[in-house]
Chain A
Amino acid sequence: MGKEAFGLAAKDNSGVLSPFRFSRRETGEKDVKFKVLFCGICHSDLHMIKNDWGVSTYPLVPGHEIVGVVTEVGSKVTKFKTGDKVGVGCMVGSCGSCDSCTEGLENYCPKTIQTYGFKYYDDTITYGGYSDNMVCDEGFIIRIPENLPLDAAAPLLCAGITVYSPLKYHGLDKPGMHIGVVGLGGLGHVAVKFAKAMGLKVTVISTSDSKRDEAINRLGADSFVVSRDQKQIKDAMRTLDGIINTVSATHSLLPLLGLLKPKGKLVMVGVPEKPLELPVMPLIFERKMVMGSMIGGIKETQEMVDMAGKHNITADIELISADYVNTAMERLEKADVRYRFVIDVANTLKPAP
Chain B
Amino acid sequence: MAKSQDQNKAFGWAANDKSGVLSPFHFSRRENGENDVTVKILFCGVCHSDLHTIKNDWGFSHYPIIPGHEIVGIATKVGKNVTKFKEGDRVGVGVIIGSCQSCESCNQDLENYCPQLVYTYNSRSSDGTRNQGGYSDKIVVDQRFVLSFPDGLPSDSGAPLLCAGITVYSPMKYYGMTEEKGKHLGVSGLGGLGHIAVKIGKAFGLKVTVISRSSEKESEAIDRLGADSFLVTTDSQKMKDAIGTMDFVLDTVSAEHSLLPLFSLLKVNGKLVALGLPEKPLQLPIFPLVLGRKMVGGSQIGGMKETQEMLDFCAKHNIVADIELIKMSDINSAMDRLAKSDVRYRFVIDVANSINSA
A contacts, CB < 8 Å to B: 99-100, 105, 108, 110, 169, 253, 262, 268-272, 275-294
Instruction: Assess whether A284 is in contact with B286, with CB atoms less than 8 Å apart.
Output: no
B contacts, CB < 8 Å to A: 105, 113, 174, 244, 259-260, 268-269, 274-278, 281-300
Instruction: Assess whether A283 is in contact with B286, with CB atoms less than 8 Å apart.
Output: no
Closest Cβ neighbor of B289 among chain A residues: A292
Instruction: Assess whether B297 is in contact with A280, with CB atoms less than 8 Å apart.
Output: no
Q: How far is the CA of A6 from the CA of B291 in the complex (A)?
A: 31
Instruction: Assess whether B298 is in contact with A294, with CB atoms less than 8 Å apart.
Output: no
Instruction: Assess whether B282 is in contact with A268, with CB atoms less than 8 Å apart.
Output: no
Instruction: Assess whether B293 is in contact with A280, with CB atoms less than 8 Å apart.
Output: no
Instruction: Assess whether A283 is in contact with B297, with CB atoms less than 8 Å apart.
Output: yes
Residue from B113, B277, B290 within 8 A of A294 (CB atoms)? B290
B348, chain A: closest CB distance, angstroms:
24
Instruction: Assess whether B296 is in contact with A276, with CB atoms less than 8 Å apart.
Output: no
Q: How far is the CA of A278 from the CA of B277 in the complex (A)?
A: 12
Instruction: Assess whether B298 is in contact with A262, with CB atoms less than 8 Å apart.
Output: no
- Residue numbers in B under 8 Å from A272 (CB-CB): 286
- Residue numbers in A under 8 Å from B288 (CB-CB): 292
Q: How far is the CA of A140 from the CA of B22 in the complex (A)?
A: 67
Instruction: Assess whether A294 is in contact with B291, with CB atoms less than 8 Å apart.
Output: yes
A305, chain B: closest CB distance, angstroms:
21
Also in contact, A286 and B113, with CB within 8 A (given A262-B105, A277-B281): yes
- Residue numbers in B under 8 Å from A268 (CB-CB): 286, 289-290
A167, chain B: closest CB distance, angstroms:
13
Instruction: Assess whether A283 is in contact with B290, with CB atoms less than 8 Å apart.
Output: no
Q: How far is the CA of A268 from the CA of B244 in the complex (A)?
A: 20
Instruction: Assess whether B298 is in contact with A293, with CB atoms less than 8 Å apart.
Output: no
Q: How far is the CA of A311 from the CA of B292 in the complex (A)?
A: 30
- Residue numbers in B under 8 Å from A287 (CB-CB): 113, 174, 297-300
- Residue numbers in B under 8 Å from A276 (CB-CB): 283-284, 286
Instruction: Assess whether A292 is in contact with B282, with CB atoms less than 8 Å apart.
Output: no
- Residue numbers in A under 8 Å from B278 (CB-CB): 280
Also in contact, A278 and B282, with CB within 8 A (given A289-B297, A292-B294, A294-B291): yes
Instruction: Assess whether A291 is in contact with B289, with CB atoms less than 8 Å apart.
Output: yes
- Residue numbers in B under 8 Å from A110 (CB-CB): 244
Instruction: Assess whether B293 is in contact with A293, with CB atoms less than 8 Å apart.
Output: yes
Instruction: Assess whether B296 is in contact with A275, with CB atoms less than 8 Å apart.
Output: no
- Residue numbers in B under 8 Å from A277 (CB-CB): 281-284
Q: How far is the CA of A286 from the CA of B268 in the complex (A)?
A: 25
B276, chain A: closest CB distance, angstroms:
8
Q: How far is the CA of A108 from the CA of B293 in the complex (A)?
A: 8
Instruction: Assess whether A275 is in contact with B286, with CB atoms less than 8 Å apart.
Output: yes
Also in contact, A292 and B299, with CB within 8 A (given A276-B284, A280-B281, A286-B113): no
Q: How far is the CA of A289 from the CA of B297 in the complex (A)?
A: 4
Residue from B274, B287, B292 within 8 A of A271 (CB atoms)? B287
A105, chain B: closest CB distance, angstroms:
8
Q: How far is the CA of A290 from the CA of B289 in the complex (A)?
A: 8
Instruction: Assess whether B290 is in contact with A292, with CB atoms less than 8 Å apart.
Output: yes
A78, chain B: closest CB distance, angstroms:
29
Instruction: Assess whether A278 is in contact with B297, with CB atoms less than 8 Å apart.
Output: no
Instruction: Assess whether A280 is in contact with B274, with CB atoms less than 8 Å apart.
Output: yes
Instruction: Assess whether B290 is in contact with A271, with CB atoms less than 8 Å apart.
Output: yes
Instruction: Assess whether A253 is in contact with B284, with CB atoms less than 8 Å apart.
Output: yes
